[in-house]
Amino acid sequence: FQFCANDPEKFADACELAEPHCDGVDLNLGCPQVIAARGHYGAFLMEEWELVENIIRTACARIKKPITCKIRVYESIEKTVEYAKRLERAGAKIITVHGRRREQRGPLTGIASWDHIKAVKEAVSVPVFANGNIQYLRDVEKCIEYTKVDAVMSAEGALYNPAIFTGRQPPAWEMVDKYLAYCNQYPTNLSYVRGHLFRMWQKCLDNFPELRHPLGKVKKFEDMCKISDTIKEKAKAIADKEIEEGKDSEEIGHLPFWRCQPYVRPPPKTTSGEKRPLEEGGKEAEAKAKLKPPSKRKAIREKHHQHGKGAFPKVPKDKWPLCVTCKNNPWGKKCEYNLCKTCCKDMTAIKVLNIVQVTNSNSYSTN
């Protein structure tokens, strides 16, 4: 199991609940997402070493199964090594090092530093797992050779090709069919299923864009399977033809679109937050904006801006007379007693009660 946490006792409680059902518990200290920043966990505990140590020590004292950690690196190799040493002293039995800094995510993901991972491996005595830059099986072999780590972990690479550790680049439908069979056996949240399908069908959807929207909007698992079958039929027809013509290949760099392959993230167009210049398309947008007539509110604002503040006299507002009872709210236009709605309702209710009482008393006297 892997948990995110920022409270030692709560993490230890969760570890006790999980212990009978797992071989160990991992503390996630590497999540860089916005949700981790809001919740104050993951990589956003990197400045609170004492808290992290306390979380690990408390859990180690409560359960017998090993506690492991997954971390990100600092810009400084020395600081990263010292951080890993403190985790080891706190009781972490395995340290997984993702070779990217906390800021390296989304379009700024960049390249993971195997030098940081190598330095951590040389500095601690517990097993070290590497994470980052793993797209093919050959990357696993290169990483182990360079860093001398005990194991390698893949995240995004395995999402796009679940067979990554076999060294194969299987047809996408082969992985999709197996995955959907598991989902049918173990019912899964539809949004999770959709996310995995979009990754495994990545290149196929680039070739069949008309099926992207239906796959994103479908509401039932059965319908999702039907759309996947349609993608499979279209891709398989092309694959059969390419295999017959000898155009198929599992060689990296020459993979046909219908085989599982990693997602190559495009570099960001701008990384410093600067606005796109008008020459890159802004003029067209500006021309379209001029064709659209401004709203009345915008026209008034522009007039005030042109003529200066106070150029247009304020229109006096009508002052409504106040309720004769509460003296706070304006009276209602249709109220004969010059009361506001609240006071009018109260007075009406009292009158109705009085009428009922009089009627009841008359009925008693008649009897």
Which residues, other chains included, contact 193 with Cβ-Cβ below 8 Å and sequence gap of 6+? 180, 183, 221, 224
What is the distance between the alpha carbons of residues 181 and 188, in angstroms, rounded to a whole number? 11
- What's the per-residue H, E or C state across the chain? CEECCCCHHHHHHHHHHHHHHCCCEEEEECCCCHHHHHHCCHHHHCCCHHHHHHHHHHHHHHCCCCEEEEEECCCCHHHHHHHHHHHHHHCCCCEEEECCCCCCCHHHCCCCCHHHHHHHHHHCCCCEEEECCCCCHHHHHHHHHHHCCCEEECCHHHHHCCCHHHCCCCEHHHHHHHHHHHHHHCCCCHHHHHHHHHHHCHHHHHHCHHHHHHHHHCCCHHHHHHHHHHHHHHHHHHHHHHHHCCCCCCCCCCCCCCECCCCCCCCCCCCCCCCCCHHHCHHHHHHHHHHCCCCHHHHHHHHHHHHCCCCCCCCCCCCCCECCCCCCCECCCCCCCCCCHHHHHHHHHHHHHHHHHHHHHHHHHHC
CA 153 → CA 150, 158, 192, 359, 367, distances in Å? 10, 9, 21, 86, 93
What is the distance between the alpha carbons of residues 212 and 348, in angstroms, rounded to a whole number? 62
Nearest to 200 by CA among 170, 165, 168, 236: 170
Q: Are strands 95-98 and 151-153 parallel, antiparallel or unpaired?
A: unpaired
Length of the chain: 367
Which residues are tagged catalytic? 31
